[in-house]
Amino acid sequence: MRPVSFTLNGKPTRVTVDENRPLLWVLRDDLGLTGTKFGCGEGHCGSCTVLVNNEAVRSCAMSIGDVAGKKVTTIEGLAAGGRLNAVQDAFVRHTAFQCGYCTPGMILGAYALLLKNPRATRAEIVSQMDTHLCRCGAHVRIVQAVETAAAAMKGGTR
Amino acid sequence: MNPEDVKLPDDIDSELVVDGPTTFPVDRRDFVKLTATGLLVLVAIDRTGAIAAPQGRGGGYPTDINAYVHVGADGRVTCLVGKIEMGQGAMMALPLLLAEELDVAPASVDVVMGDTDLCPWDMGTFGSLSVRQFGPTLRQAAAEARAALVEMAAERLQVPASRLATKDGVVFDTADATKKIAYARLTEGKRIERTLTNKPAVKSPAAFTVVGKSVPRRDALDKVTGQAKYAGDIVPPGGALHARILRPPAHGATLASVDTSAAEKIAGVKVIRDGDTIAVLHEHRDEADTALALVKAQWTRNDPPFDDVTMFDHFLKAAPPPQTSGQGGNVADGEKLAAEVVERTYYDSYVAHAPMEPHAAVAAVEDGKVTVWAGTQTPFPLKNQIMQALRLPAEKVRVITPYVGGGFGGKSGSRQGVEAARLAMLAGKPVRVQWSREEEFFYDTFRPAAVIKIRSGMDGAKKLVLWDYLVYCAGDRGAAHFYDIPNHRTLTRGSWGGGGGAGAAGLHPFAIGPWRAPGANTNAFARESHIDELAAKAGLDPVEFRLKNLKDPRMVRVVNAVAQKFGWTPKAAPSRRGVGIACGIDAGTYVALMAEVAVDSTTGRVQVKRVACAQEMGVVVNPEGALCQIEGCITMGLGYTLSEEVHFKGGQVLDTNFDSYELPRFSQVPKIDVVILDAKDIPAQGGGEPAIVPMGAVVANAIFDATGARLYRMPMTPARVKAALAKT
Ligand code: FES
Ligand code: FES
């Protein structure tokens, strides 16, 4: 057990835990952030995706010790100033979800892509999202939503 | 920033709502608590204090209208239903039906779902029945509530009821618009106590003002901000311990010996042993995982002697005797009339539900009453199971269903809810059971693998004269054909439910159960593949051949509509264009699909490039919701068609995660074009399942058109496609 300090959704955060524990369960069990979902536990589905220094990572496969000193963003930290971010907004407009269980991971995965490459083409979106699973089959709408979000982010909207 | 304070952008209503107001509840926080954490009684007592689900049900919908609808003193209306929301959109469609009959704005309606203490009894959410079968009950209750409110208004306003009309939650005098009174003032939040002398009729579809117009999802904001609570997210006061349960390595195995001493040494671990149930509990999930890995157990195996390769031979021997599910004319006559008798056999594999949310439940016990938050499609049956397992009376068990992260039939069984309740009792603390992906595969009630044998024939005029259909293990849903065939017979050996020792003893090594349109996918694959093969033999375009042998006007209509949507040009297969058609009837709905595929002859990989769908489902309650379901069906259907199959050896399920069990991915998803046909004169039919039914066949038929190779087994994996190509 040792203290691990990092920035969580913009706030300085410190937890004293075994540094090998998975980020996913520290977020869910210790920090009460249940928006990050458990889907497979082995890095296959993307439900547990969060941002670490703006890169999409699978929180089930990363240990809490590895985020020391870094910036972690979960789905709860995406909307700012009472407004949805561009990707969240586009998911609502396109009804890009059904059960919603894959949605936090999808939104964060797409957001990470657009932060890096706001001009992402449809092919780039599909390839980035290909390791994210959605059992409900919202794929067509998710791609449309990410395209809409890309257009909004290019235009300077968050 | 507290995410609960996030608002939807101001402009979003106008974009999403066709002709109607937003349906996001006015007080979102209240609503979240209503549905997600079940703290309804504490939070919303002023508004819904009068709500109490009728007790002691166990079958049948209650007749008391107050079980379904409550008009609060503030004018908010609560719609109470025993159905649950798993992504399919019942949360939107059902309140629309209520708003329509009650004459209130959809935006003024809140919905409480799947809570056994608050909602009217319901058998479960499956079979595309929410709108089709429960819808009429809900509409009737709302119509009665409206009639009762009109009677109350007549007395208050001193105006004959016949002169009164209703709109937007207000009763008014048609002769003098100044005479009016709001529902809220009539009920003042209390129950509607009134016996109607005449049962009011529900509206005719022509009078609908809100049904048939798209509404945005009520759950959108919750789901994009991470605020939506699923069973595993529920934290009861004081927190819950994660429980990991020791599982056998194979179905049929029994525990010989167990040593939990190493697990017990982990700080904070509590080990529970109850008969053969061994569970390790810890505040943190990952530490419970670690502890479980330290439990040493010996098992005695008792595996059935077949696997995913030899299973078909086993079915042919072990299936129960045939039952006739349809018959007409005489197959012997058909044989005589047939220019040639064509015999083919089709095979399907076990398929998993694999919802992204594994089964989860949280249970807490207070004053001898156990409350279980469960991801389930069947809260009321689960309540009964818990009552039985723990020997508790009805009033001591409450099941609350938060958002469910996908079901598809797989959460009709909710063993995790019983496990959580039992462990919470034993531990004396709230317990969370959240299955691992491996447990999810192990205890899934798979769609059964199946064999279908068809003997058919046509006469010299290319008219079907013989259809002799025998299905093993997939059951009779969708087994009946809808072609115009004088001599036919449909035999069924074994259903899609039961399995593992229970139903058909020893037929399957594990439990099988309802999987999105149970059995119908398998039956449609065989029937529509076979029809296609006959069309090719006849040298006719597959659409022309179907229309030549079809009379059912609803089917003719969807076939023509899909051809138009797709831009079909007639040609006999194989035309090397890679296009195909397949159709089906499911849950009262008619559907036809067309697909275009590309087949890589080197790798055997099939890429579905586009799919067109024409669906006629009677009255459409929420068109946008119906569209989402159709797209979801087509996308999900790619999986059982091309890649999904459960690998097993005896009682051991070899697939434990998504590395070997392959779900459809973004790169596989086709362009999808949908037309929903207008059919206002037909009552609302099912929408959650039909479009998935023809997916296997439409792809098989398109592969044949592309290559001349016919696939008889699903999934049509690259290896199987290559093997079929080698035979051409
Ligand atoms: S839970 Fe982490 S990738 Fe599936
Ligand atoms: S919306 Fe249900 S898994 Fe994607």
Question: A13: domain range?
Answer: 2-77
**Contact list, B436 vs chain A (CB under 8 Å):** 41
B458 and B551 together in one domain? yes
Sign of the dihedral through C-alpha B137, B90, B225, B118: positive
B177–chain A nearest CA distance, Å: 39
Task: Report the atom number in ligand 1 closest to the C-alpha of A38.
Answer: 1
- Short-list B611, B643, B608, B607, CA closest to B716: B643
Task: Give the 3-state secondary structure percentages of chain A, helix then strand then coil, rounded to 5.
Answer: 40, 20, 40
B109 and B217 together in one domain? yes
> Quick one: pLDDT at residue B3?
47
Model confidence at B56, pLDDT cuts 50, 70, 90, reads very low
**Would you say B685 and B575 are in contact if contact means Cβ atoms under 8 Å apart?**
no
- Short-list A103, A98, A124, A88, CA closest to A45: A103
Q: Determine, yes or no, domain membership for A157.
A: no
CA–CA gap between residue B267 and residue B162 (Å, rounded):
73
> Any idea what DSSP says for residue B380?
H
Last residue of a domain, one of A58, A77, A96: A77
> Quick one: pLDDT at residue B128?
81
- Short-list A129, A120, A124, CA closest to A153: A120
- Short-list B379, B422, B384, CA closest to B56: B384
Q: Determine, yes or no, domain membership for A92.
A: yes
Tell whether the model's pLDDT for residue B18 goes beyond 90: no
- Short-list B424, B390, B398, CA closest to B241: B424
B225-275 residue pLDDT tens: 999 999 999 999 999 999 999 999 999 999 999 999 999 999 999 999 999
Last residue of a domain, one of B225, B248, B276: B225
CA-based nearest residue in chain B for residue A123: B667
Tell whether the model's pLDDT for residue B49 goes beyond 60: no
CA-based nearest residue in chain B for residue A94: B16
B652 and B705 together in one domain? yes
> Quick one: pLDDT at residue B127?
81
In degrees, rounded to 5, the angle at the alpha carbon of residue B295 between the alpha carbons of residues B290 and B300 is 140
> Quick one: pLDDT at residue B685?
92
Interface touch B437/A41, C-beta < 8 Å:
yes
**Residue among B224, B405, B437 whose CB faces A107 most closely:** B224
> In chain A, positions 82-141, which contact chain B (CB-CB < 8 Å)?
82-84, 88-89, 91-93, 95, 97-104, 107, 125-127, 129-141
Last residue of a domain, one of A77, A96, A122: A77
CA-nearest residue for atom 4, ligand 2, is A134
> Quick one: pLDDT at residue A81?
86
**DSSP of B676-725, one letter per residue?**
EPP-TTS-----SSGGGTTHHHHHHHHHHHHHS----BSS--HHHHHHHH
B274-330 residue pLDDT tens: 998 999 999 999 999 999 999 999 999 999 999 999 999 999 999 999 999 999 999
Interface touch B658/A136, C-beta < 8 Å:
no
Task: Report the atom number in ligand 2 closest to the C-alpha of A106.
Answer: 4
A59 and A16 together in one domain? yes
Q: Determine, yes or no, domain membership for B345.
A: yes
B366-398 residue pLDDT tens: 999 999 999 999 999 999 999 999 999 999 999
A42-94 residue pLDDT tens: 999 999 999 999 999 999 999 999 999 999 999 999 998 889 999 999 999 99
**Residue among A41, A82, A130 whose CB faces B7 most closely:** A82
To the nearest whole percent, how much of chain A has pLDDT over 70? 97
**Would you say B702 and B597 are in contact if contact means Cβ atoms under 8 Å apart?**
yes
A67 and A103 together in one domain? no
**Contact list, B437 vs chain A (CB under 8 Å):** 39-42, 44
Find the CATH number of the domain harbouring B150: 3.30.365.10
B347 and B427 together in one domain? no
B330 and B263 together in one domain? no
> Quick one: pLDDT at residue B60?
81
Interface touch A83/B7, C-beta < 8 Å:
yes
> Quick one: pLDDT at residue B216?
86
Instruction: Kindly state the average pLDDT of the residues B606-632.
Output: 96
Sheet holding B180-182, edge to edge: B164-167, B170-173, B180-182
Interface touch A103/B223, C-beta < 8 Å:
yes
> Quick one: pLDDT at residue A156?
61
Chain A to chain B, count of Cβ pairs less than 8 Å apart? Answer: 196
Instruction: Kindly state the average pLDDT of the residues B148-170.
Output: 96
Instruction: Kindly state the average pLDDT of the residues A28-40.
Output: 98
Give residue B438 CA to ligand 1 midpoint distance, Å. Answer: 13
**Would you say B409 and B514 are in contact if contact means Cβ atoms under 8 Å apart?**
yes
Tell whether the model's pLDDT for residue B30 goes beyond 60: no
Tell whether the model's pLDDT for residue B48 goes beyond 70: no
Strand (E) or helix (H) holding B360: strand B360-366
Tell whether the model's pLDDT for residue B33 goes beyond 80: no
A103 and A54 together in one domain? no
To the nearest whole percent, how much of chain B has pLDDT over 90? 87
**Would you say B224 and B8 are in contact if contact means Cβ atoms under 8 Å apart?**
no
Tell whether the model's pLDDT for residue B57 goes beyond 70: no
Instruction: Kindly state the average pLDDT of the residues B600-614.
Output: 98
Q: Determine, yes or no, domain membership for B306.
A: no
Tell whether the model's pLDDT for residue B15 goes beyond 90: no
- Identify which ligand lies nearest to the alpha carbon of B85: 2
Q: Which residue has the higher pLDDT, B344 or B275?
A: B344
**Would you say B561 and B612 are in contact if contact means Cβ atoms under 8 Å apart?**
no
B565 CB contacts (<8 Å, ≥6 apart)?
B594, B612, B613, B614, B673, B674, B675
Whether A43 has its CB under 8 Å from any CB of chain B: the answer is no
Tokens 């938060």 correspond to: B402
Last residue of a domain, one of B225, B245, B266: B225
Give phi and psi for B702, each to the nearest 5: -70, -35
Q: Determine, yes or no, domain membership for A158.
A: no
B418-449 residue pLDDT tens: 999 999 999 999 999 999 999 999 999 999 99
Q: How many domains does chain A have?
A: 2
Tell whether the model's pLDDT for residue B653 goes beyond 70: yes
Model confidence at B215, pLDDT cuts 50, 70, 90, reads confident
B620-641 residue pLDDT tens: 999 999 999 999 999 999 999 9
Last residue of a domain, one of B378, B408, B434: B434
B260 and B336 together in one domain? no
Find the CATH number of the domain harbouring A126: 1.10.150.120
Residue A35: alpha-carbon gap to chain centroid: 10
Interface touch B632/A138, C-beta < 8 Å:
yes
Model confidence at B11, pLDDT cuts 50, 70, 90, reads low
**Contact list, A91 vs chain B (CB under 8 Å):** 220, 223-224
A90 and A52 together in one domain? no
Tell whether the model's pLDDT for residue B82 goes beyond 90: yes
B186 and B328 together in one domain? no
**Entry pTM:** 0.93
To the nearest whole percent, how much of chain B has pLDDT over 70? 91
Interface touch B634/A137, C-beta < 8 Å:
yes
Q: How many domains does chain B have?
A: 3
Question: B341: domain range?
Answer: 311-351+445-726
Q: How many CB atoms lie within 10 A of CB A2?
A: 10
Strand ranges (DSSP E) for A54-130?
Answer: 55-58, 71-73
